[in-house]
């Protein structure tokens, strides 16, 4: 049966290739950026310096204090620096935290963002922003925060450690899994999601085996692009809701949380989403995609239980309450009993049910 759908393409310019970061000045020029503020985390200051050198006179400074979940204090400090330097755009080089800071500056100052991702989180492909104030993370969608241009350079991901590559890649796969059964999915998104999962599932084991495998890094980054675009174009379900609540309430690491939860939510939802199941059967080359995702996580050495991330039994009731309290779209209705069962399996890394 062909369902009704609406599809709106997001304006995206992508420059892809090993060494593509050397085109950064050209890309900034295309966007009319003459005074770029380069954004990075403290761990990627050297990379930010490389970006500044490549930008030459087009760079006016580096703000290297980006932090996970975009605290408002960090945004205020970056905003003051951008204003002080009269910046007319920003170059966000790093993972989802750095790109999230760029989006906050786009939201507040209207600065165009040139994103240079170095993880597989996929934020560069979405109009979704997040800001954290008083331990509460607020998120929203606004086309103004979508980066104007994205440079994907697999060479920049060579330094991403095997463990982080595994969990970050599973984070990207989660976007595609939920896009496949999203109420606003469409043939374009389904095709991108299936291909994205195939690229990542095929390349991540090679990357954890040899993080310097540039072909596998290229395939993973192409998968990231596709999965990120799926996240940007559709409404996410139980998996993203659960990870958002877990991350916010218990201050858990983002990618690792996604890696643990994904096989459990897939097992719960795919019975009610036959088209998504078929697409994932093809992408993962398995009859049981939820089991395939669990096996992939194990093979990659990713954490399998929330307990490994420091979660205890006593933490679960508040998480379950918060998930049940807010309505969100999901292919299968989420009852308290089902959620409790799912959370207990995820806590101890038990079999998906």
Q: Which is nearer to ligand NAD, 160 or 266 (CB)?
A: 160
Q: How far is the CB of 123 from ligand NAD (least distance, A)?
A: 3
Q: Which is nearer to ligand NAD, 47 or 270 (CB)?
A: 47
* Binding flag, residue 44, ligand NAD (CB under 6 A): yes
Q: Which is nearer to ligand NAD, 168 or 186 (CB)?
A: 168
Helices within the chain (DSSP H only): 24-30, 45-55, 72-84, 96-109, 162-180, 187-209, 214-233, 238-250, 254-269, 274-284, 289-299, 316-325, 336-348
12, 109, 159, 307: which one contacts ligand NAD (CB under 6 A)?
Answer: 159
User: Under a CB-based contact definition with an 8 Å cutoff, are residues 229 and 317 in contact?
Assistant: no
* Binding flag, residue 126, ligand NAD (CB under 6 A): yes
C-alpha to C-alpha distance for 175 and 227, rounded to whole angstroms: 6
String marking each residue 222-261 x if it binds ligand NAD according to CB under 6 A: ---------x----------------------xx------
Cβ count within 10 A of residue 176: 32
* Binding flag, residue 132, ligand NAD (CB under 6 A): no
# binding residues, ligand NAD (CB under 6 A)? 28
Residue 188 burial by Cβ neighbours in a 10 Å radius (0-12, 13-18, 19+):
middle
Please list every residue from 324 through 343 that binds ligand NAD, using CB under 6 A.
Answer: none
Q: In degrees to the nearest 10, what's the CA dihedral of 303, 306, 311, 313?
A: -140
23, 30, 69, 299: which one contacts ligand NAD (CB under 6 A)?
Answer: 69
User: Under a CB-based contact definition with an 8 Å cutoff, are residues 70 and 130 in contact?
Assistant: yes
Q: Kindly state the tokens that stand for 335.
A: 């009852």
Q: Kindly state the tokens that stand for 124.
A: 């560069």
Binding site for ligand NAD (CB under 6 A): 41, 43-44, 68-69, 94-98, 100, 118-119, 121-123, 126, 128, 130, 156-157, 159-160, 164, 168, 231, 254-255
């Amino acid at each position: 049966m062909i369902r009704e759908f609406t599809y709106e393409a997001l304006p995206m310019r992508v420059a892809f290739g090993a060494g593509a970061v050397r085109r950064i000045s050209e890309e900034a020029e295309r966007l009319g950026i003459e005074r770029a503020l380069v954004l990075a985390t403290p761990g990627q200051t050297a990379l930010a310096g490389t970006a500044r050198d490549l930008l030459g006179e087009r760079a006016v400074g580096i703000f290297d204090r980006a932090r996970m979940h975009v605290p408002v204090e960090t945004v205020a400090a970056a905003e003051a620096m951008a204003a002080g330097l009269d910046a007319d755009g920003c170059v966000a080089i790093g993972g989802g935290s750095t790109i999230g800071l760029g989006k906050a500056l786009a939201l507040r100052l209207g600065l165009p963002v040139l994103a240079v991702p170095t993880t597989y989180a996929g934020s560069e492909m979405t109009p979704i922003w997040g800001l954290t104030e008083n331990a509460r993370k607020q998120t929203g969608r606004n086309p103004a925060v979508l980066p104007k241009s994205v440079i994907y350079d697999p060479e920049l991901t060579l330094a991403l450690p095997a463990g982080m590559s595994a969990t970050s890649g599973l984070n990207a796969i989660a976007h595609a899994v939920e896009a496949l059964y999203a109420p606003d999915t469409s043939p374009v998104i389904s095709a991108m999601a299936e291909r994205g999962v195939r690229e990542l599932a095929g390349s991540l084991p090679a990357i954890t085996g040899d993080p310097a495998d540039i072909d596998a890094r290229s395939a993973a980054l192409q998968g990231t692009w596709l999965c990120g675009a799926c996240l940007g174009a559709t409404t996410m379900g139980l998996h993203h809701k659960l990870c958002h609540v877990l991350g916010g309430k218990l201050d858990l690491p983002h990618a690792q949380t996604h890696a643990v939860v994904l096989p459990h939510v897939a097992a719960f939802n795919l019975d009610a989403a036959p088209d998504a199941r078929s697409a994932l059967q093809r992408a993962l080359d398995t009859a049981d995609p939820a089991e395939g995702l669990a096996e992939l996580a194990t093979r990659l050495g990713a954490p399998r239980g929330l307990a490994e991330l420091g979660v205890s039994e006593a933490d679960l009731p508040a998480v379950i309450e918060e998930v049940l309290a807010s309505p969100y779209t999901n292919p299968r209705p989420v009852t308290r009993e089902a959620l409790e069962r799912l959370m207990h399996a995820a806590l101890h890394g038990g079999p998906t049910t």
